[in-house]
């Protein structure tokens, strides 16, 4: 699990960010949604399933990134496209949960090439992505 730069992590999945200053999601060349996921919000569920839950209303300071992810989640559901995971890790999890501007939070990035996700729920705010081992 090598630490990668943010843009480099997206490129590993064939995705290019619209704007690396605020985008947290992109659509890859193959149609997959590539998104940055907080490591502390990834929870193991039943065997081989990793659940990622979040809500867009929790976000603070990044309205553009939030709106773009909302569009990407809807496109992904409509096209039944897979989701690829970039893991963002920070020791400042309380700041994340309180909706502070994540651009000001120290974090590292790595990719999970071994899992592929599907959006299992999105109500316009809350969303759940189920990631399964790709084997």
Tens place of pLDDT for every residue, the chain, 135 residues? 568 899 999 999 999 999 998 999 999 999 999 999 989 989 998 777 999 999 998 877 788 999 999 999 999 999 999 999 999 988 888 887 777 777 778 889 999 999 999 999 999 999 999 999 865
**Considering the entire predicted model, what is its pTM?**
0.89
Is residue 69 a contact partner of residue 24, using CB atoms and an 8 Å limit? yes
**Signed CA dihedral, 93, 96, 102, 108: sign only:** positive
d(CA 112, CA 115): 6
Task: Kindly state the helix (H) or strand (E) to which residue 88 belongs, with its residue range.
Answer: strand 83-89
The per-residue pLDDT for 135 is 58
**Signed CA dihedral, 52, 34, 114, 133: sign only:** positive
The per-residue pLDDT for 2 is 67
């Amino acid at each position: 699990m090598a630490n990668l730069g943010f843009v480099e992590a997206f490129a590993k999945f064939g995705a290019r960010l619209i704007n690396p200053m605020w985008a947290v999601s992109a659509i890859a060349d193959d149609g997959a949604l590539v998104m940055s996921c907080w490591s502390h919000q990834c929870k193991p569920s039943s065997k081989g399933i990793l659940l990622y839950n979040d809500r867009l209303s929790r976000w603070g300071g990044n309205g553009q990134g939030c709106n773009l992810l909302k569009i990407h989640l809807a496109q992904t559901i409509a096209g039944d496209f897979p989701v690829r995971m970039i893991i963002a890790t920070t020791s400042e999890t309380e700041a994340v949960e309180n909706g502070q501007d994540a651009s000001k939070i120290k974090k590292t990035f790595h990719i999970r090439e071994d899992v592929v996700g599907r959006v299992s729920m999105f109500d316009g705010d809350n969303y759940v992505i189920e990631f399964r081992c790709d084997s």
